[in-house]
Amino acid sequence: MEGCFPKAMHDIGFHSGDSATPENLSPVKYFAESIPWILHCALHSLFGITAMTFIPETNYKIVNVQTGTVLTAITSNSVIGSSYGPANVNQQKWLVVPAGQSDIYYLKMAASGSYLAPKSGSDELVIEDGLFGWNIVPELDETTFRIYTTGAPDDMVIQLDLTSSETPIHLAQFQDDALSQVWRFELALPPVLLLSYTDRHYVQIWDPISGRLAHTGEATFMKDRAVTAARFGEQLAFMYRTRSDLDIQDIRTSAIRRIGYFDAPDRSLLEFSPKGTYLLAAGANRFIIFDVQSSQAIRMTNTRIKPRVVGFNGDEKRYAIGFQDGDISVWDLNNEKPSLRLISGPPFPGSHGAVPDMPVMGLAWAPTFTDALLTSRLFDPKIVLWNTVNGTRIREFDAHMGFNQSSFCFFPDDRLLKVAIVGSRADHQSPKMLMILELLTPDSQPIIINDDDGPFSGVDISPDGTLITAFAWNAFDRPNRPTPLILWDAKTLRRINVNPKNLVGTVHSSVMFIQPLS
């Protein structure tokens, strides 16, 4: 509550030094207008509710709500609002450093290590070596903030000056309806991020090169059933075990919104389209697709067999679902029925009943210049490259070393359909290796990368094609052991020995790269 209640009173015209309510505000009106802030502060005190938790050693951009411009320190004596971009990006990243008291922080420039402070005897802002604490107080929406001074000049807020062509930022008296005084703290994200799911209910996002944590997300109550992220963008989606809600979180602001509901039994499959335009959720006998922007369900389809894996192609116009019985169906987004059914092969000899024990476990669309789709089944060493226009097999091959559970990812825009493959075997003798193969090169021989931190259960390639990651999550080969995240340079195929921090003892069930759009 410290740092919250005095500012709440200030927002309705009452100053901490006053001994009574203001003359222009009757006691009844004063109390009535105080209720929202009293409830706001009570929630903070009782439940620890906060708009966002500032992550230590993490770069933020401070964005003005009215204009979208970013707090920018051009020089030590020139603090302005400007668009976020390459020209000033090093002057637009800030560390939010706790000053010891609740809601009191130092605003530290990431590039120089100096701090934001008021200029002595002026309403201007400067960058200096001395520490100055700012009272960062959330608005009622819990996602935006006003930034108050804590010393002389007292009770002033940081405001963007809209009357100047250079849009300087300065201190001003609080005004209730002035959006130029309201700010968002958004993550200043690196160009490529590494996202790890921990036991399918907890997500962490890292700068893959520095190993610095950029974001942490988890369910508000109970454990999530599934978590997914958009390949391009800043969105996470959560599906829960005990309720039918589907929620989306903005990685930059931590804001969460409900996109809809899905009550199918055994809800366990959740997938964004690459650009985050659509979200597919699936259960035992049904799947649903939402338009993310409008939160409208555009498709609800019942299925005879349980969906096990799903993937949208790169232009988001088609999607494929692999099922428990080993078959794959391909849909055009605008059609209610699948346009193509692909039969992977005969049932596993040890199958019982109507549902074979060879579900589709691997599925990846090739780059968008082709309609090819790569799939694999559990317990089947064969990997198949399909033509999804006519349903024919372009190529099929046995995974190296007899993998019977394979994971793979295509290199972006590679004209020879180069793919990275990892896998495991059920005989506890899984090879500790990554395989790279050009699928359209006749009689091509795989490149093998051996690594003692294997065997690997999953692999991904960054959207810009510069990095490869693999992770180990295998109950047979690594029981109750931490699972390392491994990075390689995609060009040299040399391992990058920069491991994300704070990962000791962490068990990852999935890892992927994402590329922020802002």
- Asked if residues 286 and 303 have their Cβ atoms less than 8 Å apart, the reply is yes
Please indicate, yes or no, if residue 256 is contained in any of the structural domains. no
DSSP state of 400: G
Considering just the CA atoms, what is the radius of gyration of the chain in Å?
27
- Asked if residues 155 and 149 have their Cβ atoms less than 8 Å apart, the reply is yes
State whether 114 and 180 are in the same domain. yes
State whether 28 and 123 are in the same domain. no
State whether 139 and 35 are in the same domain. no
State whether 28 and 107 are in the same domain. no
Please indicate, yes or no, if residue 156 is contained in any of the structural domains. yes
Q: What angle do CA 276, 340, 347 make, to 5 degrees?
A: 105
Amino acid at 300: M
The CATH number linked to 158 is 2.80.10.50
pLDDT in tens, 256-272: 899 999 999 888 899 99
Of the candidate ranges 145-159, 194-208, 336-350, 460-474, the one whose mean pLDDT is the lowest: 194-208
- Percent pLDDT > 70 in the chain is 75
Q: Where is the domain boundary, 187, 205, 240?
A: 187
State whether 100 and 174 are in the same domain. yes
Mean residue pLDDT across the chain: 80
Please indicate, yes or no, if residue 174 is contained in any of the structural domains. yes
Task: Show the domain range for 74.
Answer: 60-187
How far apart CA 349 and CA 299 sit, in angstroms, is 35
State whether 120 and 20 are in the same domain. no
Q: In the structure, what pLDDT confidence band is assigned to residue 206 with cuts at 50, 70 and 90?
A: confident
State whether 43 and 64 are in the same domain. no
How far apart CA 165 and CA 163 sit, in angstroms, is 7
State whether 65 and 179 are in the same domain. yes
pLDDT in tens, 80-121: 998 887 678 789 999 999 998 778 999 999 888 999 999 988
The structural domain count of the chain equals: 2
How far apart CA 489 and CA 478 sit, in angstroms, is 25
State whether 123 and 79 are in the same domain. yes
Secondary structure (DSSP) of 325-359: TSEEEEEETT-SS-SEEEE--SPPTT--SSS-S--
- Asked if residues 225 and 245 have their Cβ atoms less than 8 Å apart, the reply is no
pLDDT in tens, 173-184: 999 899 999 999
Please indicate, yes or no, if residue 27 is contained in any of the structural domains. yes
State the number of CA atoms in the 13 A half-sphere of 152 facing the CB.
3
Greatest CA separation found in the chain? 88
Please indicate, yes or no, if residue 124 is contained in any of the structural domains. yes
Q: What are the helix (H) ranges across 348-399?
A: none
State whether 67 and 178 are in the same domain. yes
Q: Where is the domain boundary, 169, 187, 205?
A: 187
Please indicate, yes or no, if residue 52 is contained in any of the structural domains. no
Asked whether residue 16 carries a pLDDT value surpassing 50, the answer given is no
Q: What is the pLDDT of residue 482?
A: 52
State whether 24 and 139 are in the same domain. no
Q: Where is the domain boundary, 187, 210, 245?
A: 187
Q: Mean pLDDT across the stretch 505-517?
A: 73
Please indicate, yes or no, if residue 74 is contained in any of the structural domains. yes
Question: 291 has which bridge partners?
Answer: 278, 296
State whether 40 and 64 are in the same domain. no
How far apart CA 134 and CA 150 sit, in angstroms, is 6
The three-state secondary structure class of 174 is: coil
Please indicate, yes or no, if residue 232 is contained in any of the structural domains. no
What the block records as the tokens of 122 is 């002026």
